[in-house]
């Protein structure tokens, strides 16, 4: 590929092109529709992997920047760029979508389903790549439309309720952010001299009065807190996750929630460093409450999918903890954990979806003894579950451990409480595993079909990623760390925050693996 | 000086009147030739309406271009102001007339009641609207208001087979007459206080005199009455109660026209009076507009949620849109704000959205023009996917989803509001927009996610197709490239005093 090829723009526009093509093709050519969806999503996935391979790991700034004027009278530009914070989220998006498109059958209306999925991919890509506040908002908000239709059109019994709740909840959060974005640009004009929504320009050149910055930060934080979701704004999530079709749940957990945590990094810490430091105790506390609450709530669930949904609340709590502990290690861990959670929870939702396909129930009480009839399926579930728990050697451990060790230095007591969440995760997941897979299968479960080749191939991709990052996280860490260090420096130089000096993660030969 | 034998009237620059004269010529042609020649070719009346409006539109467009280097001027002893502001509003109104005529032709063909009367009324109401947006004198403005309103009363009641239509015409007439009286009383009081009925003249008097001896209270009451009168026309809460009934009862093309052109004209008049005439009294009217805006956005959005008739839903949503325009107007009450431009921007975009939405309602409303319940929209995606998609785009645009014109209009208004430091109002408006979004989602749910109640064939008239296609295309084009429209509306300025 040529060096000046606008790869980031292509990552956003290709899925849109695919969706348009699918819309044009007649309903009669269903196979053609599937081929188009596959070609475009795999193409985007391939490009994102190429991006990963050619990414300069030592460079902490934005790479592959693409900037064009868009709405000149408001100072809005099509400004895209990727750095260590967004790189892996882009790759995760690029990988997850083709897997969902290839691996999950929506059962009806394939054409519309695939078109919405591709549009969703474009929106998610755009959110992770935008370096313009206005552009970011557009992608952040437009994502709601395809997701709304995916949940509402292909979900389960209470899908319309869940989809509407999801849409309105998130839109309400965004309403505050929109006012915040406009106010940020308008107020920054005093320092910059002209109206611009450019993230980098505002973050580097504008400074806000203490209280103003705090208000602006809060307006952004509400939107992100709904999206993550942070306790107590999480109530849309269990409904949306449970009612969404399997593919929708995978995407929702895998990448959509990360738009919130990513937003905190990119538009919270980077844009309003002083205010983020000010809000640190509140967000740390909410994160820890989320970890404990999510774990307890997950333990109480009788629906397997709802259990996984609540486990997301707990996992995302860890990520938020790492973000607002603001140390190099905790932030690196958070970025990594965003990807890990996407892989392992995405895989869990896939597996729960497969159980539902076979048994038409997700009630834990109605499932038992699956291990004896479907050992391979059970083994796959076990590995994915252990990754979610954070067992050493698998990916979840690396991220969680980095978060805890990083946070311990700047947020000791919060971290101590949060660490108990790791044990709770083991409790609810292992208990669920025990109830569903152990014991003697009753009549209904004795015919539980073993994993098919297609399902197996799909899950193998996830397990491969889980194993690789668990054993050899270095390639990932060395790409994340420079950008994260730069972000921490930015926070330190723009606020009175003193980051604890932490050793480099990657520089040490065995740094993160010898911890336990 | 010797007494002149003749009375010196103002010189009449006929060229400036081309838009109004063209509409007038169209009206006369329709009424005269229409009564002399009994059978016209199919859609002949609509063609005449369309052509005369297009002439007006082109004349306005040329005028817009010629105004490029100067800021406009006033004519006829300063009672008519031709400036970028009025020309932009006129262009919007002309577009609404063309859309309205297209929908009217589809409606009348289906009703088997083609005739010149409704088109003539459409044109006369447009004449009133054009007078209103350019009026620089309160009496002339009142004349425009009455021409517009009287035509609309008749149009609303024009479906003789539907009781609701009769009821809506009568209701609109009585309440409208009431509000006109308020307006006129306001004009009288303001004249009594300032000695002028010219909007720019009022502005001059007020800028020369900080306080008008003994008559300040009279001025304030006058301002209040003006706000009541025009607040009724723009359906600002608490003067909105007529809106749902009238919108529901009136024939759908008339509702569309009323909701767009009528609102543009009333808002343009309101904005000119407040921003030019009462510029010195911003501190008096701004808090009132602030309160009206908050009430209007919330009432419109909240009451829309519980409706079951799509026309009523759109009526309440149009109330909520009026609230957003009031947000822009409130911003215009601050020094150095671009609130006037963003309000006009909102009006232009709103016109397109509302026309497209009602065109779809018209397409589905059946032979009685009464099948507009939400249940009639069930499963539309299965019956007519393209129609459902078009309505979805327009509804999401009204909700303010990005990459649609509706987002651009909301963003612009909120930006003006934030720049004017009206944060509370900006946040309130956005929260209300979220509440309102539930309404649009409900319609979308019933179109996409529910099973069709009937599978009867929906035939869409080609004229309606044109309206839908143009409005959806405009919604998306402006959504993706807002700069096109922003460049134009930014120049919407008033003639110098």
- Which pLDDT tens digit goes with each residue over A452-475? 888 888 899 999 999 898 889 888
> And the tokens for A21?
């093509």
Give how far B482 is from chain A: nearest CA, Å: 7
* A142: closest chain B residue by CA: B402
pLDDT average, residue stretch A315-335: 91
What is the pTM for the complete model shown? Answer: 0.90
- Which pLDDT tens digit goes with each residue over B188-241? 999 988 888 999 888 888 888 776 666 788 889 999 999 999 999 999 989 999
A239: number of CA atoms within 13 Å, CB side?
17
Q: Please work out, in degrees rounded to the nearest 5, the angle formed at the alpha carbon of residue A209 by the alpha carbons of A205 and A210.
A: 120
The DSSP H or E segment spanning A76 is strand A76-82
ipTM for the predicted complex comes to 0.87
* A171: closest chain B residue by CA: B434
Give how far B320 is from chain A: nearest CA, Å: 16
Contact criterion met (CB < 8 Å) for A182 and B448: no
Q: Which residues on chain B are in Cβ contact (under 8 Å) with A160?
A: 445, 449
Residue A232 CB-density burial (10 A; 0-12 exposed, 13-18 middle, 19+ buried): exposed
Least confident of A131-145, A292-306, B26-40, B59-73: B59-73
pLDDT average, residue stretch B259-278: 92
- Is pLDDT of B128 > 60? yes
Residue corresponding to tokens 């690029």: A94
Count Cβ neighbours within 10 Å for each residue of B394-427 and write b for 16 or more, e otherwise.
Answer: bbbbbbbbbbbbbbbbbbbbbbbbbbbebbebbb
Q: Which residues on chain B are in Cβ contact (under 8 Å) with A168?
A: 434, 437-438, 441
Give how far A194 is from chain B: nearest CA, Å: 13
Closest CA to A11 of A110, A58, A81: A81
Contact criterion met (CB < 8 Å) for A167 and B414: no
Q: Note whether B363 and B355 are within 8 A (CB).
A: no
* Disruptive mutation site among B418, B446, B485 for chain A (greatest number of A CBs within 10 Å): B418
Residue corresponding to tokens 């050697």: A393
Residue corresponding to tokens 């979308």: B444
- Which pLDDT tens digit goes with each residue over A462-512? 999 998 988 898 888 888 888 888 888 888 888 888 877 766 666 554 444
- Which pLDDT tens digit goes with each residue over B306-342? 888 899 999 999 999 999 999 999 999 888 888 899 9
Q: Which residues on chain B are in Cβ contact (under 8 Å) with A126?
A: none
Residue corresponding to tokens 């910055």: A213
d(CA B300, CA B291): 14
A401 near B CB under 8 A: no
d(CA A191, CA A209): 11
- Is pLDDT of A9 > 80? yes
- Which pLDDT tens digit goes with each residue over B469-488? 999 999 999 999 998 888 88
Res. A2 pLDDT band, cuts 50 70 90: very low
Residue A32 CB-density burial (10 A; 0-12 exposed, 13-18 middle, 19+ buried): middle
* A76: closest chain B residue by CA: B483
> And the tokens for B347?
């009006």
Mean pLDDT of chain A: 87
Give how far B382 is from chain A: nearest CA, Å: 11
- Which pLDDT tens digit goes with each residue over A338-364? 999 999 999 999 999 888 888 888 888
What are the residue ranges of helices labelled H in B112-258? 116-134, 138-156, 163-194, 199-208, 216-233, 242-249, 252-257
The gap between the terminal CA atoms of chain A, to the nearest Å, is: 43
- Is pLDDT of A397 > 70? yes
Contact criterion met (CB < 8 Å) for A73 and B483: yes
Helix, strand or coil for residue B137? strand
- Which pLDDT tens digit goes with each residue over A54-101? 888 888 888 888 888 888 888 899 999 998 889 999 999 999 999 988
Give how far B273 is from chain A: nearest CA, Å: 27
Contact criterion met (CB < 8 Å) for B445 and A160: yes
B484: number of CA atoms within 13 Å, CB side?
11
Question: What pLDDT was estimated at residue B4?
Answer: 54
Q: Note whether B475 and B356 are within 8 A (CB).
A: yes
Q: What is the dihedral of CA B302, B303, B307, B313, to 10 degrees?
A: -90
Helix, strand or coil for residue A77? strand
Taking every pair of Cα atoms in chain B, the longest distance, rounded to a whole number of angstroms, is 84
Res. B3 pLDDT band, cuts 50 70 90: low
Measured CA distances, A179 to A77, A137, A218, A260 (Å): 19, 11, 11, 17
d(CA A338, CA A333): 8
How many residues are there in chain B?
Answer: 497
- Is pLDDT of A263 > 90? yes
Closest CA to A98 of A451, A458, A463, A453: A458
Phi, psi at A198, each rounded to 5°: -70, 125
d(CA B487, CA A104): 47
* Distance, CA of A282 to chain centre: 22
- Residue B135 DSSP class: B
Q: Please work out, in degrees rounded to the nearest 5, the angle formed at the alpha carbon of residue A8 by the alpha carbons of A7 and A14.
A: 80
> And the tokens for A201?
């320009």
Residue corresponding to tokens 């720019």: B200
Mean pLDDT of chain B: 89
B65 near A CB under 8 A: no
pLDDT average, residue stretch B414-442: 90
Question: What pLDDT was estimated at residue B213?
Answer: 63
B479 near A CB under 8 A: no
């Amino acid at each position: 590929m040529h060096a000046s090829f606008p790869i980031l723009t292509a990552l956003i526009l290709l899925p849109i092109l695919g969706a348009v093509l699918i819309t044009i093709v007649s309903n009669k050519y269903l196979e053609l529709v599937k081929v188009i969806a596959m070609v475009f999503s795999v193409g985007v996935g391939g490009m994102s992997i190429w991006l990963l391979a050619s990414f300069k790991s030592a460079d902490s700034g934005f790479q592959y920047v693409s900037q064009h004027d868009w709405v000149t009278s408001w100072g809005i530009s099509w400004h895209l760029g990727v750095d260590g914070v967004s790189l892996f989220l882009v790759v995760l998006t690029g990988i997850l979508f083709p897997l969902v498109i290839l691996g999950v059958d929506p059962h009806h209306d394939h054409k519309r389903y695939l078109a919405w999925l591709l549009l969703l991919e474009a929106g998610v890509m755009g959110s992770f790549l935008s370096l313009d506040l206005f552009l970011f908002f557009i992608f952040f908000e437009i994502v709601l439309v395809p997701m709304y239709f995916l949940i509402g059109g292909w979900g389960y019994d209470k899908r319309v309720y869940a989809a509407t709740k999801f849409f309105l909840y998130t839109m309400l959060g965004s309403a505050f952010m929109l006012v915040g974005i406009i106010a940020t640009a308008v107020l920054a004009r005093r320092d910059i001299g002209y109206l611009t929504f450019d993230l980098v320009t505002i973050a580097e050149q504008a400074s806000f009065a203490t209280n103003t910055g705090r208000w602006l930060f809060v307006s952004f934080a509400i939107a992100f807190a709904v999206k993550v979701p942070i306790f107590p704004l999480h109530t849309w999530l269990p409904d949306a996750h449970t009612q969404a079709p399997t593919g929708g749940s995978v995407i929702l957990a895998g990448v959509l929630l990360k738009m919130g945590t990513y937003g905190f990094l990119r538009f919270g810490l980077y844009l309003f460093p002083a205010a983020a430091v000010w809000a640190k105790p509140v967000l740390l506390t909410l994160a820890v409450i989320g970890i404990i609450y999510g774990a307890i709530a997950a333990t109480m669930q009788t629906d397997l999918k709802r259990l996984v949904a609540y486990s997301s609340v707990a996992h995302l709590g860890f990520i938020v903890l790492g973000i607002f502990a603001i140390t190099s290690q905790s932030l690196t861990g958070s970025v990594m954990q965003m990807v890990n959670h996407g892989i392992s929870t995405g895989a869990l939702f896939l597996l729960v979806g497969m159980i539902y396909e076979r048994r038409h129930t997700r009630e834990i009480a109605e499932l038992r003894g699956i291990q004896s009839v479907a050992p391979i399926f059970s083994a796959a579930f076990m590995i994915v579950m252990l990754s979610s728990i954070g067992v050493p050697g698998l990916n979840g451990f690396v991220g969680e451990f980095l978060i805890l060790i990083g946070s311990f230095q700047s947020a000791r007591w919060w971290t101590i409480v949060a660490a108990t969440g790791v044990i709770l995760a083991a409790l609810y997941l292992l208990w669920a595993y025990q109830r569903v897979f152990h014991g003697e299968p009753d009549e209904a479960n004795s015919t539980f079909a073993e994993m098919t080749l297609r399902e197996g191939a799909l899950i193998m991709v996830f397990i491969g990623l889980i194993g690789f990052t668990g054993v050899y996280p270095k390639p990932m860490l060395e790409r994340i760390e420079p950008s994260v260090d730069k972000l921490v420096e930015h926070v330190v130089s723009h606020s009175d925050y003193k980051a604890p000096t932490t050793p480099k993660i990657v520089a040490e030969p065995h740094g993160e693996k010898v911890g336990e | 000086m010797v007494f002149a034998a003749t009375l010196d009237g103002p010189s009449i620059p006929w060229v400036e009147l081309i838009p109004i004269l063209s509409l007038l010529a169209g009206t006369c042609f329709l009424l005269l030739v229409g009564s002399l020649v009994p059978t016209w070719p199919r859609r002949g009346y609509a063609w005449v309406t369309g052509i005369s409006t297009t002439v007006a539109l082109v004349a306005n467009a040329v005028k817009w271009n010629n105004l490029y280097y100067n800021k406009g001027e006033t004519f006829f002893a300063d009672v008519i102001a031709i400036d970028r502001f009025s020309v932009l509003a006129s262009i919007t109104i002309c577009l609404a007339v063309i859309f309205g005529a297209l929908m009217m032709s589809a409606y009348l063909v289906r009703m088997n009641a083609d005739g010149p009367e409704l088109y003539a009324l459409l044109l006369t109401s447009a004449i009133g609207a054009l007078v209103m947006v350019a009026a620089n004198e309160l009496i002339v403005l009142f004349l425009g208001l009455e021409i517009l309103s009287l035509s609309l009363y008749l149009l609303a009641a024009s479906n003789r087979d539907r009781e609701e239509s009769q009821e809506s015409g009568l209701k609109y007439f009585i309440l409208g007459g009431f509000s006109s009286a308020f307006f006129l009383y306001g004009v009288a009081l303001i004249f009594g206080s300032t000695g002028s009925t010219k909007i720019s003249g009022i502005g001059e008097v007020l800028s020369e005199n900080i306080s008008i001896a003994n008559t300040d209270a009279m001025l304030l009451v006058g301002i209040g009455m003006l706000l009541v009168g025009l607040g009724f026309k723009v359906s600002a809460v608490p003067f909105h109660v007529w809106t749902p009934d009238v919108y529901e009862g009136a024939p759908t093309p008339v509702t569309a026209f009323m909701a767009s052109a009528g609102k543009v004209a009333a808002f343009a008049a309101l904005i000119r009076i407040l921003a030019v005439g009462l510029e010195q009294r911003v501190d008096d009217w701004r808090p009132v507009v602030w309160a009206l805006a908050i009430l209007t956005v919330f009432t419109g959005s909240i009451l829309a949620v519980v409706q079951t008739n799509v026309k009523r839903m759109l009526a309440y949503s149009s109330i909520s849109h009026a609230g957003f325009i009031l947000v822009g107007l409130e911003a215009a009450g601050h020094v150095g704000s671009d609130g006037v431009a963003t309000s006009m921007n909102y009006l232009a975009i709103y016109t397109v959205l509302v026309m497209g939405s009602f065109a779809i309602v018209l397409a589905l409303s059946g032979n009685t023009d009464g099948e507009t319940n939400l249940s009639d929209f069930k499963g539309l995606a299965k019956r007519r996917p393209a129609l459902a998609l078009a309505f979805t785009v327009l509804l999401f645009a009204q909700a303010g989803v990005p990459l649609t014109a509706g987002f651009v209009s909301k963003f612009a208004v909120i930006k003006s509001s934030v720049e004017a430091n009206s944060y509370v109002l900006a946040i309130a408006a956005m929260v209300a927009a979220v509440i309102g979004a539930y309404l649009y989602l409900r319609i979308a749910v019933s179109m996409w996610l529910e099973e069709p109640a009937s599978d009867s064939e929906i035939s869409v008239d080609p004229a309606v197709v044109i309206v839908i296609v143009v409005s959806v295309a405009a919604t998306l084009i402006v959504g993706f490239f807002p700069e096109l429209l922003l460049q134009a509306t930014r120049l919407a300025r008033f003639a110098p005093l």
